[in-house]
Structure 1
Amino acid sequence: MALTREEREQFLAEPHIAALAVDAGAGRAPLTVPIWYQYRPGGDVWIMTGLDSRKNQLIDAAGRFSLMIERLEPTIRYVSVEGPVVDTSPGTVEQLREMAARYLPAEKVDGYVDFAWKNHGEQVVVRMRPERWVSSDLGTV
């Protein structure tokens, strides 16, 4: 059964790992990789990635990307969202901290942020405006 707008936005706002998909060019399947993301109901989705990463280069060229988020318990549920890139800006340590706090236990956030900021290279935040949604709750198995 398809989710209501409120259900799909709430599900997307939960800290799941997303599968990011972006056009990889002629003769190639889309690049599909796991990624952390941030979302608040009614707003834009944002990701943080390396400025020189293949993901960022392909997103820049395509001007859009998709995220697919799923869970298996307590029911099989997924949300897929696709839309245009509406902003790309340099990533900040505050955004990195926000993202890390969404996914990691509180006691690991500072260590991760310190390591990532020093070792992952220059970061960018890419914002996508959700334009097309596909969602379902398939119930329990």
Structure 2
Amino acid sequence: MPLSREEREQFLAEPHVAALSVDAGSGRAPLSVPIWYQYAPGGDVWIMTGLASRKYSLISEAGRFTLLVDRIEPTIRYVPVEGPVAKTTPATIEELREISARYLPADKVDAYVDFAWKNHGEQTVIHMRPERWVSSDLGQV
């Protein structure tokens, strides 16, 4: 069954790892990779990636991307969301800390942020404005 707007936004706000897909052009299949993301109901979705990454290059060229978030327990539920890039900004250490805290145990965040900030190269934050949603909870059937 499709989720209500509130259900799909709440689900997307939970800390799931997403699959990011973006047009790879030149007759190739879309690039699809796992990625951390941040979302608050009613707002934009944002991701952080390296300026030198293929993801960043392809998203910049396409101007839009898709995230697919799913789970298998307690019921199979999924929410793909697609939309245009709303803005791109240089990443801050505060944003790195925010997204890291969403996925890592509290006692691992500081060490990861310190390592990533020093070693992952220049990062950017890409905001996507949700435009098209699909959703289902197969446990509601």
Q: Considering the TM-score relative to the shorter chain, is it more than 0.5?
A: yes
User: TM-score with structure 1 length normalisation?
Assistant: 0.98
Question: CA offsets, 1:64-109, max 9 Å, x none?
Answer: 0000000000000000000000100100000000000000000000
**1:113 partnered with 2:113:** yes
- SS of 1:73's partner is coil
RMSD: 0.7
Question: CA offsets, 1:26-47, max 9 Å, x none?
Answer: 2100000000000000000000
Q: Number of paired residues?
A: 140
User: TM-score with structure 2 length normalisation?
Assistant: 0.98
Query: After TM superposition, where is structure 1 displaced by more than 3 Å over at least 4 residues in a row?
Result: none
Q: CA deviation at 1:60?
A: 0.1
Identity among equivalent pairs (%): 77
Q: Distance in 2 between matches of 1:53 and 1:91?
A: 14
Map residues 39-58 of structure 1 onto 2, 5 A cutoff.
39-58=39-58
Name stretches of at least 5 consecutive residues in structure 2 with no aligned partner. none
**Structure 1 residue aligned with 2:73:** 73
Q: Distance in 1 between matches of 2:126 and 2:56?
A: 8
Q: Distance in 1 between matches of 2:59 and 2:123?
A: 14
Name stretches of at least 5 consecutive residues in structure 1 with no aligned partner. none
Q: Distance in 1 between matches of 2:107 and 2:27?
A: 45
**Structure 2 residue aligned with 1:97:** 97
- SS of 2:46's partner is strand
- SS of 1:25's partner is coil
Q: Distance in 1 between matches of 2:117 and 2:129?
A: 26
